[in-house]
Structure formats: structure tokens, C-alpha cells
Amino acid sequence: MAASLFESQLYGGAFNAGDAGRLFSDSAEIRAMLLVEGALAKAQGALGVIPEISAAAIQRAVMEVAIDPGALRAETAQNGVPVPALVSAFRAEMNAPEHAQYVHWGATSQDIMDTALMLRLRQALGLIEENLKNTLSHLAEQAETNAALPMAGRSFGLHATPTSFGAVVASWGAPLLDLLDELPELRRTSLLVSLSGAVGTASALGPKADAQRAELAKGLALSDPGRSWHTDRGPVLRILGWMHRATLALSKMGLDCHAMVQTGIATLRLAQTGSSSTMPHKQNPVAAAKLVALAQHSTGLNASLQSAATHQYQRDAGAWFTEWLCLPQIVLAAASAAETAVGLSAALQPQDAQMRGELSQNLDLIHAEALTFALAQSLTRTQAQDIVKALCKEATETGVPLSQLAQKHASEADLTAVFKADAQMGQSRETANNFAQTVRALA
């Protein structure tokens, strides 16, 4: 099995991260770091920190030069970071030492790597956002169409009270709306430029250090933190935390779909299913299972990422390396989950007859709460609860439905609507329709 399923020729289709997968290749990282070096030179040239002619030459070379990642392997292994080897190779490729001497002026490796990371995380956020919106569009259609389709609501896996499929779908989409609502502030506070030198003091950047950082941020359309964040991994944790929560939110849909298609329940069918090598009747809910697996994968890695958030002194090594090991996998898990969710949400086929039939399969006990509150209109709450509890016990022991046993108390309450699921769904319709309207407003 490949070290990363996201990049596997065999499994990559199953765990497809879409275009986000391209952001975490060696070539993509080198390209991002060179873009940062070019933007830094442009900012410094504009401020007179380095000659403008040299800044222009560096910018031009950034767009023209191609660096082979393999050529940096040995030196990266020795240094622990790729920037020294990259800068050396880039200067050589420029073939203009009078200009190349100004490459990487005053910056440190972590400045370049963290800023380059932010460029790629910005793209990843955009890709995930687009897929979440597409998923929400499918869910809104399902919620609106099935706002009044009754089904059994479950607690601890058991029948509780009626709900609607539309409301269930809305419960899958609501966290996604919250995540999208958070994005503008997340981008503003966490997509940051880094330019503060070896130990965060910007000593090599000279008296115009703040201006250089601000100009670099402007050039790359990132935020200026106004300080060093070498050892403050809050920006990374916030972005990766958002992605992890997106993966978790999508896994809820996967988990519920997986349960609803099970043999014996079958209240849902999926248009896209997998098959078995030996059992032709199987229709495996592969997409739903993937969402659950991706969330579990991300959860373990997120714990490791959190544990590596404390960096020693002014720059750390081990904690930073741990971040490298975890971060791409968390991003790609979120991207893969978002890709998968689009297809799954478009494949939902609620089974109307099965959902309605399930409501009466358990001796009408799903209406016990409604019966209790109906009786409580003329009796005390305690009396009503005692009566219904006894009736439920009798129904279980005799096999006579609760709706029939309750008739002996018909004089004490109006039972007309008690055993009609359509009348006992509470705010299900409103929940589903309000969700759909909110999603429509996004457009």
C-alpha cells in the first residue's frame, strides 16, 4: 500500500482530493517559495532596501527558472529545511551574481516556508469552500423536497419521536453553513505573511522591517500580523482546525447515510454504490464510509498537530517537523471529504414507503411522547406518564399496538392526531425549509 492514499495510483481515485492534491507536491512547494522570494524582492525594491533593477531581475527569474526538487534532496537532508538549497540553486540559475546576491535579503527559512504555506492553504480553503457550497446546494434541494416526509427519529439508535427526512438533511448541512460563515474572519486573521528574521527580531531587515513586511503582505494579498509568529502556531492551528471540523461535519452525513442504507432499515438508497467481488446483491455505501474514515484519520493527526503547537525558544525544530508530517494529510483529508460529499449529497434517494412503514413497525411506540402530552391536557403530568408507561409495557408484552391500547383513554384526551406522524414532527418542516432558504441566499 502506498505511503499516502491521496497520491496513490491505486487508491487515489477512492480518496480523491481534487485539485488540492496538487498543492502538496514538492514542485508546488518550491513554486510557492519562489513566489515569496520574488514578492519579497519586489517589496524591498519598491522601498529602496535593494536596487530596483535587482528586484526586477529576481522577479523575472522567479517566473522563468525551474528547480528540480531532486537536486535539493541531499542538502535539504543536511540542513533540515529546503530553503538554503533552494536559494543557492536559484541564484545559480539566475546567472547574474550582481542581482542574485539580493535574493532572500534579510529573511530566514521559516519566513519563506510559512508564507509559502499560507499561499497554498489559501488555495485549499477556496477549493474546499467551493465543494461545501456544492454539497449545500444538493442538501437544500433534498431538504426542501422532503421537508414533510416523515421518518423515525432515533435516540441511542432506537425509535424516539417522528422527524422528517428534510430536517435530517438540514442537520447535516447546518454545520457547513456555520463553517462558511467563519471563513472571511478566518482568512483575515490567519492567512498571514511571515517576515521577521532568524529569531523574530527582524534585525537583518534593517529600519524598514515593518514596511517590508507590510509591502510583502500587500503583494501576496495576505494579512500583516505586525509581529513574528515563528513560535505561535495559532494561525496554522486555526486554519487546520477549520478543515478538521469540516471533515467531522461531513462525516456526520456519511455516518447517517451508512446507517440508513443498512439491510433491515433501508430508508435510503444511494445512486452511487460499490459492489462486492462475490456477493452480487451488495450495494456498498462506499462514499459514506469514506467520509467516516477520513474524519477518523484527521482526528488522530489533528491531535498530533495540537501537541506540536508549543515551540521551544524563538525557533523550534522537532515541533515544526511534526507539523510538516501532519498538516498535508489533514488538508487533503478535508479536501477529499469535501469532494466525496458533493457526490454523496447528489446521490440521496429517500425511500418514502419504507420511511413511513418504519414508523408503525414498533407497535406505534414512537408516539408515546405525544400520547403523554395529550393525556397531560386533562391529567397531571405524572399521571399521564404513569399511564403511558404502563401502556407501553402492555404493548410490548402483548404485541397489541399502543394506538389500540390508548383507546381506553380516548375520553381523557383527543387522540385524533397523536398517532399521525405527519402531525407529530414538531418544527421539522420549518427547520428543513429555513435551511433551504439560507442556502439559496448564499448565491
pLDDT in tens, 226-236: 999 999 999 99
Are 203 and 197 in contact, with CB atoms under 8 Å apart?
yes
Residue 7 has a pLDDT of 85
Mean pLDDT on 332-339: 97
**Distance separating alpha carbons of residues 104 and 111, to the nearest angstrom:** 10
Query: Is residue 4 very low, low, confident or very high in pLDDT (cuts 50, 70, 90)?
Result: confident
Query: Is residue 283 very low, low, confident or very high in pLDDT (cuts 50, 70, 90)?
Result: low
- Residues for the chain: how many in total? 443
Mean pLDDT on 46-72: 97
**Distance separating alpha carbons of residues 166 and 156, to the nearest angstrom:** 21
Lookup: cell for 280: 452480487
Is residue 199 over pLDDT 60?
yes
* CATH architecture classification, 18-105: Orthogonal Bundle (1.10)
DSSP string, 129-176: HHHHHHHHHHHHHHHHHTTT-EEEEEETTEEEEEEEHHHHHHHHHHHH
Helix or strand (DSSP H, E) at 9: none
Are 342 and 136 in contact, with CB atoms under 8 Å apart?
no
Mean pLDDT on 391-403: 96
Mean pLDDT on 413-435: 93
Torsion of CA 42, 43, 46, 47, to 10 degrees: -150
**Distance separating alpha carbons of residues 195 and 115, to the nearest angstrom:** 8
Residue 128: which of 348, 346, 347, 330 has the closest Cα?
330
* CATH architecture classification, 111-150+158-198+225-361+427-443: Up-down Bundle (1.20)
Residue 414 has a pLDDT of 82
Q: Give the residue extent of every domain in the chain.
A: 18-105, 111-150+158-198+225-361+427-443, 365-418
Least reliable range by pLDDT among 61-65, 103-107, 413-417: 413-417
Is residue 72 over pLDDT 60?
yes
Mean pLDDT on 15-41: 96
Highest mean pLDDT: which range of 1-15, 279-293, 377-391? 377-391
Mean pLDDT on 386-409: 94
Query: Is residue 331 very low, low, confident or very high in pLDDT (cuts 50, 70, 90)?
Result: very high
Same fold, 18-105 and 111-150+158-198+225-361+427-443: no
Tens-place pLDDT, residues 372-383: 999 999 999 999
How many CA atoms within 13 Å lie on the side-chain side of 224?
A: 12
**Distance separating alpha carbons of residues 143 and 139, to the nearest angstrom:** 6
DSSP string, 98-113: HHHTTTTTT--HHHHH
DSSP string, 37-77: HHHHHHHHHHTTSS-HHHHHHHHHHHHH----GGGGHHHHH
Residue 272 has a pLDDT of 62
**Distance separating alpha carbons of residues 397 and 407, to the nearest angstrom:** 18
Least reliable range by pLDDT among 94-98, 103-107, 315-319: 315-319
The position carrying cell 514596511 is: 211
Least reliable range by pLDDT among 158-167, 171-180, 258-267: 258-267
Query: Is residue 275 very low, low, confident or very high in pLDDT (cuts 50, 70, 90)?
Result: very low
Residue 98 has a pLDDT of 96
Query: Is residue 124 very low, low, confident or very high in pLDDT (cuts 50, 70, 90)?
Result: very high
Sign of CA dihedral 324, 326, 331, 332: positive
Residue 413 has a pLDDT of 77
b/e per residue, 386-408, with b = 16+ CB within 10 A?
Answer: ebbeebbeebeeeeebbbebbee
Query: What is the pTM (predicted TM-score) of this model?
Result: 0.93
Mean pLDDT on 49-57: 98
Is residue 277 over pLDDT 60?
no
Residue 339: which of 250, 271, 252 has the closest Cα?
250
Residue 280 has a pLDDT of 37
Lookup: cell for 142: 433534498
Residues 6 or more apart from 185 whose CB is under 8 A from it? Answer: none
Instruction: Give the distance from CA 81 to its chain's centroid.
Output: 29
- How large is the angle between the packed helices 109-145 and 234-260, nearest 10 degrees? 30
b/e per residue, 333-368, with b = 16+ CB within 10 A?
Answer: bbbbbbbbbbbbbbbbebbeebbbebbeebbbbbbb
Is residue 282 over pLDDT 70?
no
Tens-place pLDDT, residues 135-156: 999 999 999 999 999 999 999 9
Residue 412 has a pLDDT of 76
**Average pLDDT across the chain, whole number:** 93
Q: Between 72 and 313, name the one with better pLDDT.
A: 72
